[in-house]
Amino acid sequence: MEKYAYKIPHKTNIAKGILEWAKKEKFWSGAGELKNRVIAGDDGDGFLTPSMSRTVPSELYKDCPAIKILAECGDILPGQIQVFKTAPFEMYKFHNDGTGYKETLIPKAASVNLLLQETRANFLFYDNEHVDKERVTFYEHQYDRDYLYLLNVQQQHGWFNYEGDRYILIIRIGSPDYTEIVSKLKKKFS
């Protein structure tokens, strides 16, 4: 559903190399007692993390055509191409990443995700148009292997990881907003 997510129509070949690198990494930001605390990213900006993260070396993605086109359509934040690692049986509540420093300490208009390793996990968008005191409805985002997805993180979203370590590449986009980036991407890929 494009309101929440847009599949970038170009298959990538970077997942395997980034996953191999990530599995060898021993030191992750946000691990253990640091969960959900403000930590500094490589560029000095603070951000909240519900899982463990590592900034990805640029040599692992610099030749990816889809990321090059994405950079032409949106402002990729410095130091914000990262792998997030989530432990089994972990969840992160519904939240909104916001759009400015006052809300989240990092200006995010959207995020781009690439699932690196499949696990039994769900990435859910909260459908606030159909809610009452006891029930909510949601949209479950499904990933196709080796495709990047632009996600509207200004919408309420959360995730559940049921089994195995979940590795996902996340690219934070500062501007423009989600709908404008989708429009630009559609023009580039038409």
- The CATH number that applies at residue 122 is 2.60.120.10
Residue range 79-110, pLDDT digits in tens: 889 998 888 888 777 777 754 434 444 556 78
Number of domains comprising the chain:
1
Domain enclosing residue 62, as ranges:
5-188
Kindly report which listed range (67-81, 95-109, 167-181) carries the lowest average pLDDT score.
95-109
- Cβ of 15: how many Cβ atoms within 10 Å? 19
For the segment 47-57, the average pLDDT, to the nearest whole number, is: 71
Residue range 113-143, pLDDT digits in tens: 999 987 777 777 777 666 676 777 788 888 8
Cα 131 to its chain centre, rounded Å, is 25
CA–CA separation, 109 and 114 (whole Å): 17
CA–CA separation, 118 and 86 (whole Å): 12
Element (H, E) at 169: strand 166-173
Coarse DSSP helix, strand, coil percentages of the chain, rounded to the nearest 5 percent? 20, 35, 40
pLDDT computed for residue 157 by the predictor:
81
| Token representation of residue 155 | 């919408």
Label residue 51 by pLDDT band (50, 70, 90): low
pLDDT computed for residue 38 by the predictor:
38
